[in-house]
Amino acid sequence: MSDIVLNINTQELQDMVKDLDEDHVRGVLQNAAASLAAQAHAHVVEKAAEKMKSRREMYVKQLDLKKLDDGVHAVILYQPAMWIEEGMPAHEMIDDLLKKNAKVAEGENGERYRYKVIPFQHDKAPTRMAPAALDLRNTLKAHMDQNKIPWHKIERRADGVPLEGLVGKFNLDLPDRPHSRPHTPFGPGGPTESWEAQGPKSYRTRSPWTGLSHLHGVRIYQRILRDEQGNMRRN
């Protein structure tokens, strides 16, 4: 649980109206507290939808409204999303991705390097995607359209049966984007240069370790979803 908690406690107000019908007053205040807590939660969700894009879904998923006691409610932001609220110091996010379960491979020059396969959702609305992710999606979709590779539709055999497993693979190079700069494992340009002041459009289009495009090694897989009885789902 995070440190951002909104508590609504009506005990002091209840103490002020002891001469009135206590049960009635308590019920009114508790209902008002519940309503206010729900409005506070809804307002946070509204602001997240207004100001966030790619992080919106993660933020809202970690946001919770809980009743702690009669008349006591809490709007909670759980720890996995706290970095969105508080920010984090400038650092190399690739190091974060490779901390756990990274695989090791050997490059063309014989050097060993770590890597991890990072899946991404290509069906998100453009307004919910970061610029770099949107650029990857648009480039990938354009290539698939040009080569008549289905983007959403199921690939099938000539007899109409859906293909399973690996159904396509290709390498797609990405040109340098505006405002991007050469990158090394130490950061943009070299070990003495800082990540600061790079601008929002300064994102990588290729791996700093291998020099390969982020869309090198694209693989398209299909698998059949089945119900509890093992039958293929039609929807």
For residue range 83-125, list pLDDT tens digits in order.
888 888 877 778 888 888 888 888 777 788 888 877 766 667 7
Residue 10 domain flag: yes
| 50-66 tens-digit pLDDT | 888 778 888 999 999 98
- Tokens encoding 51: 């100001």
Read off the pLDDT band of 186 (50, 70, 90). Answer: very low
72 within some domain? yes
Residue 8: predicted pLDDT: 62
Residues 28, 100 share a domain: no
Measured between alpha carbons, how far is 113 from 104 in angstroms, rounded to an integer?
6
Same domain, 93 and 121: yes
What is the band of 32 on the pLDDT scale with cuts at 50, 70, 90? confident
Residue 209 has pLDDT above 70, yes or no: no
**69, 97: one domain:** no
Instruction: Choose among 158, 162, 187: nearest CA to 90.
Output: 187
Q: Pick from 98, 83, 54, 91: which is nearest to 207 by CA? A: 98
Q: Is residue 144 part of a domain?
A: yes
User: Do 210 and 101 sit in the same domain of this protein?
Assistant: yes
Indicate the pLDDT class of residue 14, thresholds 50, 70 and 90.
low
Residue 229 within any structural domain of the chain? no
Task: Give Cα separations from 68 to 31, 142, 144, 156 (angstroms).
Answer: 14, 51, 52, 53
Looking at residue 93, its pLDDT comes to: 78
- Looking at 85, 113, 141, the residue that finishes a domain is 85
Q: Are 152 and 63 in a shared domain?
A: no
For residues 135 and 178, give the distance between their C-alpha atoms in angstroms, rounded to a whole number: 12
Cβ–Cβ < 8 Å for 151, 166: no
Q: At CB < 8 A and 24+ separation, what contacts does 62-69 make?
A: 65/37, 65/38, 65/41, 67/34, 67/37, 68/7
Instruction: State the pLDDT confidence band at 217, using cuts at 50, 70 and 90.
Output: confident
139 and 109 part of one domain: yes
Query: Is 22 in the same domain as 116?
Result: no
Q: What is the mean pLDDT of residues 126-146?
A: 81
Residues 164, 62 share a domain: no
Q: Domain for residue 235, yes or no?
A: no
Q: Give the count of domains, the chain.
A: 2
Residue 177 pLDDT grade (very low, low, confident, very high; cuts 50, 70, 90): low
Cα–chain center distance at 150: 25
**pLDDT over 70 for what percent of the chain?**
71
Task: Give the CA angle between residues 72, 42, 45 to the nearest 5°.
Answer: 120
Last residue within a domain, chosen from 37, 65, 85: 85
- Let me know if residue 231 belongs to a domain: no
Which DSSP category does 162 fall into? B
| Domain shared by 70 and 98, yes or no | no
Token pair of 62 as six digits: 């970690």
Question: pTM, whole model, 2 decimals?
Answer: 0.48
Q: Is 94 exposed, middle or buried (0-12, 13-18, 19+ CB in 10 A)?
A: middle
Whether residue 131 contacts residue 200, with contact meaning beta carbons closer than 8 Å, is answered with yes
Residues 142 and 217 occupy one common structural domain? yes
Q: How many helices (H) and strands (E) does the chain have?
A: 6, 9
Question: Do residues 117 and 167 share a domain?
Answer: yes
Domain range for 57 is 5-85
Are residues 128 and 204 both part of a single domain? yes
